[in-house]
Chains A and B, each alone.
Chain A
Amino acid sequence: ETIRVAGNFATDHSSSVAMETFAETLTELSGGEFEVNLFPARQLGGAAENVQAVKIGAVEIIWVGTAYLTRTVPELEIVGLPFQFESREEAFKVVDGPVGDALDEKLAAQDIMSLGYMELGFRQMTNSVRPIETLDDIKGLKIRLQPNETHLATFRSLGANPLAMDVNELYSALEQKVVDGQENPFSIIQVAGYPEVQEYVSNTGHFFDFISVVANKAWFDGLSEEQQGWVTEAMDTAVAEQRTLAAEQDGAALDKIIEMGMTYTEVSPELAADLRKTVSGVAAETKARLDPALVELLDSEMSAGTN
């Protein structure tokens, strides 16, 4: 049987590399019963289209920024709040725990089977106007964001001018200074070549983004128990590998970004505190929109983590 797996990250992104591991491992585990065709780098369309494709079974599995699934399951926003996680370990503890299980159920109700969470990473701000040293430095900057309500509200509360724009247009828009800045994880910033057209970078880490690996539920349910076991085991191997790789690449990417000529300004503890204080209302607003039981579960998890 041939399994088609689609994604929209570049071929050398850690997630695409890990999916190759998935392909090899699954073929091996199944003794050649499964063959995996990988279609990374938007070969079968962009993120929103990949989500539709997996829903209708055009492809069996996709890996996609979790933000793109919030259109289907808004509750996923619960793990995409501004300044929610201190570290990647803390972030993964939440999605691997009871909160993750609850989210998987919500996905299953939409005929999507969650196979695990990879790291997209902490989102960091870059711009071509000035280094971000105080809250005032963010004010008035035209920043390209993903079209996501929480993201837009976060930057609006910081006094920036958020713009939604097709990612295909972003590079030339930055180059031509149509927009002042953008925000992405270090590894994406480096691979997409934004250091060529941007001056300043900071470790604002305002969101932690996950990559969801999801399968068409009807297809997965149609597999035998043994086959399901192979798929899950192969994907667990791939996800574990990706998390290690992503953490390594994140640090290396920042070094490369600096090497490529960007000015790096580390966020001071004062600025970090200011940022959190300014956007705290946004997180509360988003939580108010979501299932209260889930919010409660998250809050108890998070406080358990800090104790």
Chain B
Amino acid sequence: MSLAVIACFFVLGFFGMPLAFSLGCAALFGLWLAGFDPSIMPSRMMNAVNSFPLMSIPLFMIAGELMLKGGIMDRLVDFANAFIGRVRGGLAQVSIIAGAGLASVSGAAVADASALSSTLVPSLKQQYGLGFSSGVVAAAANLGPIIPPSGAMIVYAFMAGSSVSVGGLFMAGVVPGLILFATLMVLCWFISWKRDYPLVGDGFNLRNALRETRRSVIVFMMPVVVIGGIVVGAFTPTEGAAIGVCYALIIGFFVTRKLKVSDLPGVLLTAAKTTAMVGAMIAFASTVTFLFTIDLLPIKLAGAIKEITDSPLVFLLLVALMMLIVGMFLESNAANIMLVPLFHPIALQFGIDPLHFGFLFVLNLVIGMLTPPVGVILFVVCGITGVKMTELVRESWPFIAAMYGVLFLCMLVPGVVTALPRAMGY
């Protein structure tokens, strides 16, 4: 039955049916095959999203939209500009720094991608052309769920149960996030140098740098409050996301003064629509998960994997390969909901550190957002900048390769991931 469900999903998806609905049709088909009443479906769908921890997804989206409307991006760009000065691919580097800054205040790659592409691409494309500019912001947006806070990590911890804490997973993302950030910077410089993009920007000026730092301190206080609050334990992750919304409101209304009350309905509606896109995937996927469980797929899968290998490293490589394939077809939150219950218990049986596995899993998901044919980030960037999908994919592959490089590093050297959270007592 599981195979029939998977086949049905692939066929419908292949013919262009939105993937959430393809999952729904496949689930209904599976219920019919197994002789179940279709009323299982509404029950699964509603319960799958009726969860307080998952509420962090829309809250982080709202915070992201508010930061965009409130001009927080402009401050981050000015800050990055003041420090980069006159180097090859300067503006691209600025985008990566702004992306990392945004990542430290935002938890959702989709929101980051829309913020970065709508604010940065108009000036980027005058120097590097539309393709490379869009590729840079797509890569920068992917830092969002890796550098804490991270909606994907909250969902992972929720699905994995008590062996993984949100705070621990957040801290696990810090060092790899910084490594990835540095890698992307170097890559931008290298590509700009090879393609001989012109030198632009003003030279470094200490006074200007200090002025911009002072202007953006208020923005960089946000991760201190939100992540600090979650790690120290002042509030739960979902509450942290709500605090992030309030912080963004305060900055937008009183500090940058660019936010208007009339912007709010639009912000909420945009966030609601994106949430609905993610939520539909999660809801429909949950019935498919139910069918897999009933069909004893997790047990069969665990048996099959143990038959193939008893090496944790080979297991991790298998998971990465599987996630590469799954990432072609599924939205990452839906993949999170469907696959964590399958893989997390097997990882524990292989004796892999739960935080190590959790981070690798999230990184795999995040890379999947940037890989065709289904990459949420690709869709968002194409939608906003108007770049052709094929061109964006061509310009993105060096960044995807860089992300896989970091993934393999983290796989081979677990300390990169686990040293910081373990030192902090997680």
Contacts and interface: CB of A to CB of B under 8 A. Distances in A.
Direct contact of A and B (CB under 8 A): yes
Interface of A: 4, 37, 39, 43-46, 48-49, 52-53, 56-58, 165-166, 168-169, 171-173, 175-178, 192-193
Contacts of B20: none
A49 B47 contact: yes
A56 B37 contact: yes
Nearest to A37: B296
Interface residues of B, number: 28
Given A168-B53, A175-B233, A176-B234, A46 B47 contact: yes
A287 to B, nearest CB: 31
Max chain B C-beta neighbours (<10 A), residue from A165, A166, A173, A175: A166
B44 A45 contact: yes
A192 B162 contact: yes
Contacts of B40: 53, 56, 58
A43 B341 contact: yes
Contacts of B107: none
B162 A178 contact: no
29 contacts: A37-B296, A39-B293, A43-B293, A43-B341, A44-B290, A45-B44, A45-B47, A49-B43, A49-B44, A52-B43, A53-B43, A56-B39, A56-B43, A57-B36, A58-B37, A166-B52, A166-B53, A168-B51, A169-B53, A169-B236, A172-B165, A172-B236, A173-B236, A175-B233, A176-B235, A177-B233, A178-B236, A192-B162, A193-B162
B52 A172 contact: no
Interface string B376-402: 000000000000000000000000000
Interface in B147-198: 158, 161-162, 165-167
Contacts of A58: 36-37, 40, 43, 290
B313 interface: no
Contacts of B7: none
B294 interface: yes
10 pairs of A and B residues whose beta carbons are closest in the complex: A176-B233, A58-B40, A49-B47, A52-B43, A166-B52, A56-B39, A171-B162, A43-B293, A172-B165, A177-B233
A111 B240 CA distance: 43
Given A44-B290, A45-B44, A52-B43, A168 B161 contact: yes
B232 interface: yes
Contacts of B236: 169, 172-173, 176, 178
B145 to A, nearest CB: 19
A176 B294 CA distance: 36
Contacts of A168: 51, 53, 158, 161
Nearest to B295: A37
Contacts of B51: 166, 168
A148 to B, nearest CB: 17
A203 to B, nearest CB: 24
A302 B246 CA distance: 54
A165 B166 CA distance: 17
Interface string B225-238: 00000101111100
Nearest to B163: A193
Interface of B: 36-37, 39-40, 43-44, 47, 51-53, 158, 161-162, 165-167, 230, 232-236, 290, 293-294, 296, 298, 341
A169 B37 contact: no
Contacts of A39: 293-294
A163 to B, nearest CB: 11
Given A57-B37, A166-B51, A177-B233, 10 more contacts: A37-B294, A43-B293, A49-B43, A56-B39, A57-B36, A58-B37, A58-B290, A166-B53, A172-B167, A192-B162
Contacts of B298: 43
Contacts of A52: 43, 47
A43 B276 CA distance: 25
A13 to B, nearest CB: 14
Contacts of B230: 176
Contacts of A192: 162
B336 to A, nearest CB: 15
A48 B47 contact: yes
Max chain B C-beta neighbours (<10 A), residue from A48, A58, A177: A58
Contacts of A169: 52-53, 236
A292 B162 CA distance: 43
Contacts of A44: 290, 293-294
Nearest to A42: B161
A307 B180 CA distance: 74
Max chain A C-beta neighbours (<10 A), residue from B40, B230, B234, B296: B40
Contacts of A46: 47
Contacts of A43: 293, 298, 341
Contacts of A193: 162
B116 to A, nearest CB: 31
A8 to B, nearest CB: 12
A177 B232 CA distance: 9
A111 B68 CA distance: 53
Contact of B235 (A49, A166, A178): A178
Contacts of B43: 49, 52-53, 56, 58
Nearest to B43: A52
B165 to A, nearest CB: 6
Contacts of A45: 44, 47, 290
A31 B161 CA distance: 38
A147 to B, nearest CB: 12
Contacts of A172: 165-167, 233, 236
A172 B230 CA distance: 10
B151 to A, nearest CB: 15
B41 to A, nearest CB: 10
